[in-house]
Structure 1
Amino acid sequence: MTEGPRFREVWIYRFHKITHIIGKFWSFAVKYLQLRLLKNRLGNRQLVAIILSEQMGDIIACEPVSREVRQRHPDAYILWVVKEAFADLVRYNPNLDGFLTEKCPGERVQLLRSGIYDKVYNLHISHRKCKYCPEDPVNPTADQIGLTFDNYYYRGDLLYMFSQAAGLPPMTDEPRMYIPETIKESVLARQLPAQPIVIHCQSSHVARDWPAANWNKLVDWLLATYPYPIIEVGLTPTIRTTNPRFINLCGQLNLLETAEVIRQAQLFIGIDSGPAHMANATGAKGILLLGKLYDFVDYLPYSGRYKRGEGVTILNNFGHPCAELPYDWVQQAVQQQVGQPKRV
């Protein structure tokens, strides 16, 4: 009885694999031609690539790399290689001349092998492969300093670690978000209430999350004891309240709109995720909930203000996952950040 479904699964996988690989080579050929034409127009200007294509938080945290590379190559044409889903994070960066969307790590390998770039700053750690492609992405610079997925968080925050993977000095600068006026106007048009507390409850990795029951308990307490509206951002809602001062924006905002909502918050409360990096990069005050992640116990992904402990309370019950972070700790952190409760 299981042979039929198993047979279909195998052939569906093979179909997706074959079509993906064909698409990869076609995408590589098109991009190589585009880059070759670009180089012809550039003349003597160098074509420089910054490569960090995925993970929202990683890209936001590593924004200072664009400033460092621009300082090193003031006359070069600088591209950031990024997945389409995260293109808006680099689209408006004034230190870049453009960006190149990456289909998959296999395509990245093909472009690097082609020698089309004059200079490459590859921030990726070796061996994060595409699930379909045979190419194994390798970063010799990261390998030379012994940087792997098993130890990267022991080396410091994301910017500090990834900058070294790219062959740059260890960096600890403030990350920035570049939010255009059109995005600010689109958020303004929503007529959201002023001084909200913005929360983000779910990450792309369940090991980073705090229980939904705790989030709902926290929001109920916030609404009962403070006059501030609560806005939830992210992809999937966690909060169930019908209180009119709670606003669910999950799945309704693009990346930069989310960053703008967080920028306007009087306080951001969230788990270790992309929106937490947005809070750091936009100057928002924050309460961040961390916990043991794989074998990493004492780690801090953030550079700049949050690394210095400015405007942020970072909660970590060391040795325990975020799910076991005591509820009372979060409540006390809110009282320290916002002040003692005032009945509404």
Structure 2
Amino acid sequence: MNILVIKQTSLGDVLHVSGHIRSIKKHHPRSKLFLLTANTSADIYRHSPWVDELILVDRDGIKENWRKKPMWAMAEMMRTMSQVRAHQFDLAIDFQGLAKSVFFLYGAKAENKFVKGNWWGLKGFRNKNLHAIKEMDQLLQVAGIPTTDTSMELAVGADDKWAIDQLLLKINPERKPMLIVSPFSRWPSKDWPLENYMQVGEAVSNTYQAVFTGTPDRKMHIDQAIADGGRQMIINGAVNLAGALSLLEFAELVARASLMLTGDSFPMHVAAAKQTPVIALFGPTDENKVGPLGARDRIMRAPGCDVCDKRHCPRHCLSRLHSDEVIRAINLHAP
């Protein structure tokens, strides 16, 4: 049988569904499973043993050109649709439940269709009060697929492991326990002040090898913050790898770490997928819906925050979370 799974955005959301894809494939081991996702998310499933074929949509290109070049954007949508309609599916499940994803579910030639949400003519499930993973569990059950274990996973290749082997020889020759620090997310309101991260890095630098990560555009900010952050951090060799790693190399680095410190971000989900303990700092978003579920994970909430779910918030509640509290939490994880 052929199975279509749809999950386009964002990186964290696409990673969330990895355990459900595994559950589907284990329930139908002889099936061919197609995953429709954004081209920016493709690496998450590049080495997955459960995905047989990727169908990629240029999500960013369509979003950027929807108003500027609507004919191009529509042509790109239809190009992806033609790939979907080239196959006859026995089962199609849209774990996104948004118009941009349901468009492909409606267009798919499939005997049985299921969707997260309430859409005309489609069987589905929706409960916004559940954690995102638990909500998708319920959708799978509606589709008749058991959900014994839907924990996330992220497979990497041999080249990624080799690259991190070589990197660690350079940045951590003493083999100290590693603390991965990922200070930035896509929402400014979810970011704890960078100087606070630096205070934490300096305070624990005798115990941990602090490794800062981020996108290429954040490298300069982190370099400057390390230089300003304290003599002890420089002496103990805090490392800035912002922009230096591929997605899968980053995942392998996280797998080798003892602990991660970050906000509500894709790195937080990577830590959960690689079963690396994470201290996750939450402000405007609800940890009960998207937070890590591991027994060794620790969620720290901004004091007095009313969970506004705003990308930009003038209150910036996370700035009220004191560095000393986070340092104490890290020390509790100390090896």
Instruction: Give TM-score scaled by structure 1 length.
Output: 0.71
3-state SS of paired residue (2:40): helix
Q: What's the counterpart of residue 82 of structure 1?
A: 37
Match of 1:142 in 2: 117
- Structure 2, unmatched stretches of 5+, are 63-73, 107-113, 228-233, 306-316
Map 1:42-81; keep pairs closer than 5 Å: 46-81=1-36
1:79 CA displacement: 1.4
Q: Which of 177, 187, 190 is matched with 1:205 structurally?
A: 187
* Counterpart residue number, 1:290: 282
Query: Is the 8 Å Cα contact of residues 23 and 150 (structure 2) preserved in structure 1?
Result: no
Paired residues, what number? 276
Q: Verify: 1:314 aligned to 2:299, yes or no.
A: yes
For the 8 Å contact 2:181–2:262, the answer to whether it is kept is yes
- Distance change >3 Å, CA 98–CA 137, structure 1 → 2: closer
Q: Distance in 1 between matches of 2:88 and 2:327?
A: 51
- Displacement of 1:222: 2.3
Letter in 2 for 1:184: K
What code does the residue aligned with 1:292 have?
P
Cα distance in 2 for partners of 1:248, 1:141 equals 39
Q: Relative to structure 1, is the Cα distance of residues 314 and 143 closer, same or farther in structure 2, using a 3 angstrom cutoff?
A: same
AA aligned opposite 1:116: H
Q: 1:100 to 1:62 in 2, by over 3 A?
A: same
- Are 1:184 and 2:186 an aligned pair? no
3-state SS of the aligned residue for 1:179?
A: coil
How far off is 1:184 after superposition? 0.3
Q: Tell me, yes or no, if the aligned pair for 2:94 and 2:105 is still in contact at 8 Å.
A: no
Per the TM alignment, residue 317 of structure 1 is displaced from its structure 2 partner at its CA by 3.4
Bigger mean CA offset, 90-99 vs 190-199:
190-199
CA distance, structure 1, for counterparts of residue 117 and residue 88 of structure 2: 19
One-letter identity of the residue aligned with 1:301: V
Identity %: 18
Structure 1 stretches of 5 or more lacking a match?
1-45, 130-134, 340-344
Offset at residue 80 of structure 1 (A): 1.4
Aligned letter for 2:130?
R
Trace 1:216-255 onto structure 2 (pairs within 5 A): 216-223=198-205, 226-235=206-215, 236-237=218-219, 238-239=221-222, 240-242=225-227, 243-244=234-235, 245-255=237-247
- Which stretch of the first structure deviates more once superposed, 90-99 or 119-128? 119-128
User: Which residue identity is paired with 2:318?
Assistant: C
Task: Find the aligned partners of 1:137 and 1:49 in 2 and give their Cα distance.
Answer: 9
- Change in Cα spacing, 1:83 to 1:92, as seen in structure 2 (3 Å) is same
Normalising by the residue count of structure 2, what TM-score does the alignment of the two structures yield? 0.73
